[in-house]
């Protein structure tokens, strides 16, 4: 069953939490950003700039923007929008069904993008479903996505895919909700790491589509993964636990 529609303040909490989870799971350094569309609108919630370190981002650091780059709400003195806001706005504009966008610099997935190698569905069907289809590669431009024209091309290259490589830079994910897009990013990193390690030894065998489809259908119908409630929220509350920054499979 799909989650109920969150209030704006709940959504801001989720946007902040997604940043912390992305950092704690090793997918982002101090920078990187996640955003969520306010359901049913052309407005989205995103962190402000200068960057607040991802590990300590809070709801009060989140601003509301429209698709033309205007800050509508939440701006504090001496803060503004992140330079890569068009990466988010143009995906929301091109894909009305997208409710969340994430940009990370996650190492394993980025590495495979640099190599031009496909992230393969190799590890556990429930996680591997993110790699059921090859992720497209945006390589029209090696600069940061700071102009709407770049964002429009990115949105086109992304299409309906779960994620997209920014070659030599990082990854972009788009999903129905931020909880789903965040776990997609984490699962993609697992698959990328295991794809790489397996390729060092031989030719990886992939999981057949038949076994990937159930998890893919749960995702596409907006079901929040159990790991979000059971594991990632726990990690956020126990940031000193040695259990984070490891592959948990
Ligand atoms: Zn970046």
248 assigned to some structural domain: no
Residue 171: φ, ψ to 5°: -130, 155
249 assigned to some structural domain: no
Could you list the residue range(s) of the whole structural domain that residue 112 is in?
Answer: 8-236
Tens digits of pLDDT across the chain (249 residues): 455 788 999 999 999 999 999 988 888 776 889 999 999 999 999 999 988 888 889 999 999 999 999 999 998 888 999 999 999 999 999 999 999 999 999 999 999 999 999 999 999 999 999 999 999 999 988 889 999 999 999 999 999 999 999 998 999 999 999 999 999 999 999 999 999 999 999 999 999 999 999 999 999 999 988 888 888 888 888 877 766 555 443
Residue 233 Cα to ligand 1 midpoint, Å, equals 25
246 assigned to some structural domain: no
Taking the CA atoms of the chain, what radius of gyration do you get in angstroms?
17
Task: Give DSSP secondary structure letters for 53-88.
Answer: PGGG--GGGEEEEETTS-EEE---TT-EE-TTHHHH
Residue 228 Cα to ligand 1 midpoint, Å, equals 24
Which pLDDT score, from 0 to 100, does residue 7 have? Answer: 92
106 assigned to some structural domain: yes
Cβ contact 32:54 at 8 Å: yes
Residue 146 Cα to ligand 1 midpoint, Å, equals 10
Which pLDDT score, from 0 to 100, does residue 177 have? Answer: 95
d(CA 204, CA 68): 44
85 assigned to some structural domain: yes
Residues with CB under 5 Å of ion ligand 1 are: 170
Other CB atoms within 10 A of residue 58 CB:
15
64 assigned to some structural domain: yes
Which pLDDT score, from 0 to 100, does residue 243 have? Answer: 60
Residue 41 Cα to ligand 1 midpoint, Å, equals 26
Domain tally for the chain?
1
Residue 192 Cα to ligand 1 midpoint, Å, equals 18
241 assigned to some structural domain: no
CATH number at residue 161: 3.40.225.10
- pTM for the full model? 0.93
d(CA 181, CA 224): 10
Which pLDDT score, from 0 to 100, does residue 178 have? Answer: 96
Which tokens sit at 27?
A: 């997918």
């Amino acid at each position: 069953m799909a989650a109920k529609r969150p209030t704006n303040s709940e959504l801001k909490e989720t946007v902040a939490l997604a940043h912390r989870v992305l950092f704690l799971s090793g997918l982002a350094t101090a920078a990187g950003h996640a955003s969520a569309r306010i359901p049913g609108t052309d407005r989205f919630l995103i962190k402000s700039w200068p960057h607040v370190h991802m590990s300590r981002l809070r709801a009060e650091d989140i601003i509301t923007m429209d698709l033309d780059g205007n800050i509508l709400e939440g701006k504090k003195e001496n803060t503004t929008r992140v330079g890569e806001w068009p990466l988010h706005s143009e995906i929301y504009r091109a894909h009305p069904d997208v409710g969340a966008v994430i940009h990370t610099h996650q190492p394993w997935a980025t590495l495979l993008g640099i190599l031009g190698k496909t992230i393969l569905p190799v590890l556990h069907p429930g996680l591997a479903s993110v790699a059921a289809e090859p992720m497209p590669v945006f390589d029209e431009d090696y600069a940061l996505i700071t102009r709407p024209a770049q964002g429009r091309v990115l949105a086109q290259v992304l299409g309906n895919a779960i994620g997209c490589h920014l070659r030599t830079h990082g990854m972009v994910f788009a999903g129905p909700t931020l909880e789903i897009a965040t776990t997609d990013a984490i699962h993609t990193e697992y698959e990328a790491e295991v794809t790489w390690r397996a390729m060092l030894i031989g030719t990886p065998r992939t999981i057949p589509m038949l076994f990937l489809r159930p998890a893919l259908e749960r995702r596409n119908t907006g079901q929040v993964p159990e790991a979000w409630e059971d594991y990632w929220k726990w990690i956020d509350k126990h940031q000193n636990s040695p259990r984070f920054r490891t592959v948990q499979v």
